[in-house]
């Protein structure tokens, strides 16, 4: 159990929202010794989740682009705790952490407790299989870096097997379930990576690769303006990616995807990207209330319902304020605005005050369609404006640089940008091996 003479703000989850919140609070309250800022995560490093599809292709080098929490915390005046949250005692204001074991199963640390004055839940989300039979057994996911690395290695293994198969007609069939941003970006990035693999001498002709995006709705990128959805579908089809809309999956089985209308599609690799939900263990926490996606129900000030001094932000929070009375979508844009708003709210809480309720300001949507192309809608004063092509890709890349600026400041973010440009000019465009 930890104690501190200063009030403690404990943040659980080092994703985009949690890490941004810890960075901003550390540089303000932590540096001035006005509060003790603690960030808890079950991994030692962070990768910006919207770029996981580039980890799969090998375009993003995790060793270069990851943030080490220990080092970052030292430079930004917050403390990092390694571990996994196991339980909550809201009356005593404590959370319980599970024991920690090494790769060989040896005990490194017993169960322990962390105290807080304010607790912020920012644990993100994971794939939602909606109870579809066979998903747990036969699908791969893209929840985190480990998932992305496993998927990349499997694709490389099967690409090698197909390229050297005695059967000249053998193909590599990749089925991506879900035509949201994750599925569309992954399909476009995989097409580019496998094409470049062929150019570098991988012996895998493009015609031997079949990538298919399967979407249950009538259009890709649900919620996007029609022109954006149409452009994304056109670009995928132009890259020989098969797009199947209005096609619902009944079940998965070994080597195949079975649709509700009975059609079976061959699939050497099936990636499930059909939706997200919060981690199941949240529903078991004392006192909190969750919706059917296990998201924590919060009020207009992002406070968890049923408990005191606990907030939730990012994908794990069911935040009111969406269109038609729905909750806000689980996007990086929402998480960023919540983290920024909560910094000011917690500063007021330290002085016994409360600010205005959180209000989300939509800025549109951007989706990457390969290394040189993107499509998006930018919210104007009266309507949304479609942007596409290289210009949209520059804006998309700028979102990551903005994320780096929040974490490091303008100077270091600029140095990281220059380092990336120099590194990419001297290295292959994609990584051809597993980590």
What pLDDT, on a 0 to 100 scale, did the predictor assign at position 413? 83
Short-list 358, 363, 355, 354, CA closest to 339: 358
Q: Are 46 and 13 in contact (CB under 8 A)?
A: no
Encode pLDDT of 423-432 as tens digits. Answer: 766 565 555 5
Q: How many residues does the structure list for the chain?
A: 435
Tokens representing 375 are 């499509």
Domains and CATH numbers, the chain: 8-125+278-350 (3.50.50.60), 135-272 (3.50.50.60), 364-426 (no CATH)
Rounded mean pLDDT of 115-137? 96
What pLDDT, on a 0 to 100 scale, did the predictor assign at position 324? 75
Supply the DSSP symbol for 329: P
Residue 1 has pLDDT above 50, yes or no: no
pLDDT band at 412 (very low <50, low <70, confident <90, very high): confident
Tokens representing 267 are 């699939």
Instruction: Name the more confident of 99 and 169.
Output: 99
Tokens representing 368 are 């990457």
Residue 408's CB is within 10 A of a number of other CB atoms, namely: 18
Residue 131 has pLDDT above 90, yes or no: yes
Which of 223-237, 333-347, 367-381 shows the lowest mean pLDDT across its residues?
Answer: 367-381
Which of 192-196, 299-303, 357-361 shows the lowest mean pLDDT across its residues?
Answer: 192-196
Distances (CA, A) of 127 to 56, 317, 362: 16, 15, 24
Gap between the Cα atoms of 283 and 312, Å rounded: 13
**Residue 384, beta-bridge partner list:** 379
Per cent of the chain over pLDDT 90 is: 70
Rounded mean pLDDT of 259-264? 94
Supply the DSSP symbol for 208: G
Rounded mean pLDDT of 266-272? 97
Encode pLDDT of 61-72 as tens digits. Answer: 777 788 999 999
Gap between the Cα atoms of 25 and 347, Å rounded: 9
Encode pLDDT of 274-288 as tens digits. Answer: 989 999 999 999 999
Encode pLDDT of 34-79 as tens digits. Answer: 999 999 999 999 998 988 998 998 877 777 788 999 999 999 999 9
What pLDDT, on a 0 to 100 scale, did the predictor assign at position 201? 62
Residue 347 has pLDDT above 50, yes or no: yes
Strands 310-312 and 118-121: parallel
Rounded mean pLDDT of 352-367? 93
Q: How would you label 4-36 residue by residue, b for 16+ Cβ within 10 Å and e otherwise?
A: eeeebbbbbbbbbbbbbbbbbbbbbbbeeeebb
Rounded mean pLDDT of 369-388? 82
Rounded mean pLDDT of 345-358? 95
What pLDDT, on a 0 to 100 scale, did the predictor assign at position 232? 95
């Amino acid at each position: 159990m930890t104690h501190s003479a200063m009030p403690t703000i404990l943040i659980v989850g080092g994703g985009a929202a949690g890490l941004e919140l810890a960075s901003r609070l550390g540089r303000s309250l932590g540096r001035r010794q006005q509060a003790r800022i603690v960030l808890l995560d079950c991994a030692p490093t962070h990768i910006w989740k919207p770029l996981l599809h580039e980890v799969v292709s090998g375009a993003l080098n995790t060793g270069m682009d990851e943030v080490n929490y220990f080092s970052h915390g030292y430079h930004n005046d917050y403390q990092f705790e390694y571990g996994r949250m196991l339980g909550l005692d809201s009356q005593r204001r404590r959370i319980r952490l599970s024991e920690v074991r090494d790769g060989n199963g040896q005990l490194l640390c017993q169960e322990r407790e962390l105290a807080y004055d304010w607790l912020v839940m920012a644990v993100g989300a994971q794939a939602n299989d909606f109870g579809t039979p066979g998903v747990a057994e036969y699908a791969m996911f893209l929840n985190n870096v480990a998932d992305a690395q496993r998927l990349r290695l499997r694709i490389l293994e099967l690409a090698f097997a197909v390229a050297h198969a005695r059967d000249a007609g053998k193909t590599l069939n990749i089925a991506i379930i879900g035509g949201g941003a994750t599925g569309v970006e992954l399909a476009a990035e995989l097409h580019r990576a496998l094409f470049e693999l062929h150019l570098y001498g991988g012996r895998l002709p493009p015609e031997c690769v079949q990538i298919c995006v399967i979407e249950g709705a009538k259009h890709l990128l649900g919620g996007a303006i029609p022109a954006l959805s149409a452009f994304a579908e056109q670009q995928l089809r132009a890259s020989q990616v098969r797009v199947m809309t209005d096609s619902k999956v009944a079940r998965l089985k070994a080597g195949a995807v079975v649709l509700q209308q009975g059609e079976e599609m061959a699939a050497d690799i099936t990636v499930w990207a059909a939706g997200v939900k919060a981690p199941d263990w949240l529903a078991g926490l004392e006192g909190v209330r969750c919706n059917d996606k296990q998201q924590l129900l919060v009020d207009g000030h992002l406070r968890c319902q049923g408990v005191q001094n606990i907030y939730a932000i990012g994908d794990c929070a069911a935040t009111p304020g969406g269109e038609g009375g729905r909750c806000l979508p689980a996007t990086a844009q929402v998480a960023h605005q919540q983290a920024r708003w909560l910094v000011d709210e917690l500063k007021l809480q330290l002085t016994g005050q409360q600010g205005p309720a959180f209000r989300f300001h939509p800025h549109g949507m951007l989706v990457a369609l390969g290394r040189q192309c993107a499509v998006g809608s930018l919210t104007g004063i009266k309507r949304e404006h479609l942007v596409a092509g290289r210009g949209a890709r520059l804006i998309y890349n700028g979102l990551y640089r903005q994320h780096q600026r929040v974490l490091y400041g303008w100077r270091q973010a600029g140095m990281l940008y220059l380092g990336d440009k120099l590194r990419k000019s001297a290295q292959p465009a994609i990584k051809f091996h597993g980590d």
